Structure 1
Amino acid sequence: MELILVRHGEPAWVTPDGRNRNDPHLTERGHAQARRVADRLADTEDLPGRGDVDRLVVSPATRAQQTAAPIGDALGLPLDTHDWLVEVRSPESWEGAPIEEVSATFAALSARSRDEWWEGHPEGESMRDFHDRVTTGLRQLLATFGVVAADDALWDLTGPAADGTIDRVVAVAHAGTNSAIIAHLLGAAPEPWEWDRFAMGHASVAVLATTAMAGHHIWSLRALGDANHLPLDDRTA
């Protein structure tokens, strides 16, 4: 099996009057990034891949939906929206708050200890709940393709997958979600700051594929943060 992770394009976090959006739309550059990554994914020879895409799963966030729309058009696939793919949920009080206030709060949160990081913001989603949500949803998705965990690092292919059928899935989500997926599939011990361990810029791509190992299968990371489809001056973090 092959899993292609796409981060959404550049979002417009800040309103014209300097206030935060919890569910931002894409900027003009973000829409251009989305079109470029769609063209990249439509060319199956241009990525480490094994054939056509079977399913396009997408976070419900506006920035992910807008990024996925041209990808769906390019691949001829509907958008299969899953709530578990959404980014770690921000406090509701951040919606409409002055961006300077939100930025200062986020900076203070980043300076906390690891244990405090796991607790998250008291008004938002804890990182423990976020990790549990993402990994549970991921395992349920993979099971529909016959890919089931044997332990923390080894996986078994069952049904058609065991007979050599290669399924290819594209997931359009977020830095936090995608990095949590990568860490889980690689069997890495989870951390509450996965997006800094497995960094992906806007509209960049990561590719993971199963490979036989030790009587089971492992997930191999074939690409991370690949943005070769974007001009240098259109790459954003």
Structure 2
Amino acid sequence: MKQLLLFRHAQSEANVTGSLHCTVPGPPLTSNGREQAAALADRLAGTDIAAVWASGMTRAQQTAEPIARSHGLSVTVHPDLREGFVGDLHDRRDDEAHELFDEMSVTWFLDGDLDFRRPGGESGREIVDRLGGALDEVVAGLADGQTAVVVSHAAALRLTVPQRCPGISPLRALRHHLPNTGLVEVEVTAGDWFCRTWDGVKPV
């Protein structure tokens, strides 16, 4: 059995402003976000961690760095762990943009239409294939019994994990938003994924 601790990054400047910012490198963490990242490192101090991974986005790397440092590790950056690109909604902060983003999420999560995309953006299927492939690389780098920390992004994680873990329905993922530093615990045994907890709650 191998274990993945999948975290959403800490609070970023985009979170505070409500920006749908999704390009690399993107905005950094806020001062509160840096405190959240430090607290997360403290929380994991007693956990045996073999590897720390993050997306190429600044907010993910700044969240991962205190964890890696406290375990004497370096952060491995994988570009495919980044957030999904929302095309014409990128960096918008208005109510209409957020409503359109929510409609796209419903199309992906509830209608199951992963081929849908905003103009110029990624489809749900492209996000799942990209992030899923990166997570497969993380798992392949672990020996049996080892644990890896992965710092990624809310929408990409919520969309991808239910495609791998039978115990998590897309509806549950849609309803249970991952907060900053929210955690999804996953066990992988012989290629089979099992979600132990979703933001501290065991799947029903």
Question: Which of 34, 37, 54 in structure 1 is aligned with 2:37?
Answer: 34
Give the drift of 1:3: 1.0
Structure 1 distance, partners of 2:155, 2:133, is: 15
SS at match of 1:196: helix
- Tell me, yes or no, if the aligned pair for 1:176 and 1:195 is still in contact at 8 Å: no
Give the drift of 1:189: 8.9
| Cα 1:135/1:14, change in 2 over 3 Å | closer
Q: Which has the larger radius of gyration?
A: 1
Question: Which of 82, 106, 121 in structure 1 is aligned with 2:78?
Answer: 82
The yes-or-no answer on 1:3 pairing with 2:4 is yes
Give the drift of 1:187: 3.8
Equivalent in the alignment of 1:202: 180
Equivalent in the alignment of 2:50: 54
Give the drift of 1:88: 0.8
Equivalent in the alignment of 1:166: 145
Runs of 5+ consecutive residues of structure 1 not aligned to the other structure: 45-51, 146-160, 228-237
The yes-or-no answer on 1:125 pairing with 2:127 is no
Q: TM-score, normalised by structure 1?
A: 0.68
Runs of 5+ consecutive residues of structure 2 not aligned to the other structure: none
| Cα 1:101/1:110, change in 2 over 3 Å | same
Identity of aligned residues (%): 28
One-letter amino acid of the counterpart of residue 222, structure 1: R
Structure 1 distance, partners of 2:139, 2:197, is: 19
One-letter amino acid of the counterpart of residue 105, structure 1: L
Give the drift of 1:61: 1.3
One-letter amino acid of the counterpart of residue 221, structure 1: C
Question: Which of 126, 131, 138 in structure 1 is aligned with 2:135?
Answer: 138
What do the CA deviations read for 1:180-224 (whole angstroms, capped 9, x no partner)?
Answer: 453244246985x7842664211122222245xxxx574332222
- Tell me, yes or no, if the aligned pair for 1:134 and 1:180 is still in contact at 8 Å: no
Structure 2 distance, partners of 1:19, 1:218, is: 36
Question: Which of 63, 66, 69 in structure 2 is aligned with 1:67?
Answer: 63
Q: TM-score, normalised by structure 2?
A: 0.77
Structure 1 distance, partners of 2:126, 2:169, is: 12
The yes-or-no answer on 1:221 pairing with 2:183 is no
| Cα RMSD (Å) | 3.2
Aligned residue pairs, count: 195
